[in-house]
Chain A
């Protein structure tokens, strides 16, 4: 993706979400809002590492509806004691983790089914999504065959309040687990929710 294409995607995203989105982007990229305005008006261009950062950010910006649809599919299979294809499970996991944030019950459910599945490897070329996959593998008692990429800390859970608010950051740091810290993710403990699941979602190959 070129610099111009990246800027165009940000412009479209800001138009779609409306008020406050430029601020959101500036916070996420760790830049001043004015810098973003310069980019959007063609007065300056982002540096190569910033283009990569934006490109990575888009990898975890799926619409929540898409994640919900996949989560519902897995949930229905679980309730109906159905066997699910392993490749479908991998696609579901990657799509759900590509949402900006995910409800903790869904994360616990994914971790629970991954734990009892034969899946040992999950990978993506985008560093933010790859870190999330590594995090999920480790939360599910599996050993990823890649190391955490050095990225900004991003929340995978829903934060109460704006990410720029110090109280929100304090909350996220309080709930973060050591595994989340290693993978540069603001997460929460899943073990208690996982203990509440009783069924088993089996997979085939």
Chain B
């Protein structure tokens, strides 16, 4: 059983256990595995603004987590550094669930979230997505410019430069608060 199948089984178990309809907005590696690359590996499923009832049921200390070796990790809204309208662009994934609705953040918004930390696992993810041709670089640039608040942060800008220059081979400059390719 691979990571994708394991996550699907885990989500099905949550679906069976809950009584009311719940929408989960998945970001990070979980979003990549569910929406795009089923071979992608992830240990936790990052969900923005998830309720405590879901954490009790499927969080790191839960019985479901012990059974499936996967768990739901709660992320705050401000912890995901993507443009404000990221939920509008999230894609609903049909897994045949009855009460649980799964929305995966757009992959370009996931990358914008990764630029805030740019740890080695984020570099691995970005390189893998780029090598597999999942990225639309002009669209990523557009979304980067939509991410106005983060563009004020010098570390974020430096990480964006690193990704564009070193991984996408595109020289990125910042002028008048806008990111541009030269």
Contacts and interface: CB of A to CB of B under 8 A. Distances in A.
Contact of B166 (A79, A160, A188, A196): A160
Measured as residues with beta carbon below 8 angstroms from the partner, the interface class of chain A is 20 to 34
User: DSSP class of B's interface residues: helix, strand, loop or mixed?
Assistant: helix
Contacts of A78: 69
Given A106-B41, A160-B162, A175-B120, A198 B2 contact: no
Contact of A171 (B43, B121, B127, B162): B162
Nearest to B65: A198
A196 B45 CA distance: 11
B87 interface: no
Contacts, number: 69
Nearest to A167: B166
Interface residues of B, number: 27
B60 interface: yes
Contacts of B166: 160-161, 165, 167-168, 171
16 contacts: A76-B1, A78-B69, A79-B1, A103-B41, A103-B121, A103-B128, A104-B120, A105-B42, A105-B121, A160-B126, A160-B163, A160-B166, A165-B166, A171-B166, A197-B43, A197-B69
Interface of A: 72, 75-76, 78-80, 103-106, 109, 157-158, 160-161, 165, 167-168, 171, 175, 188-189, 192-193, 196-199
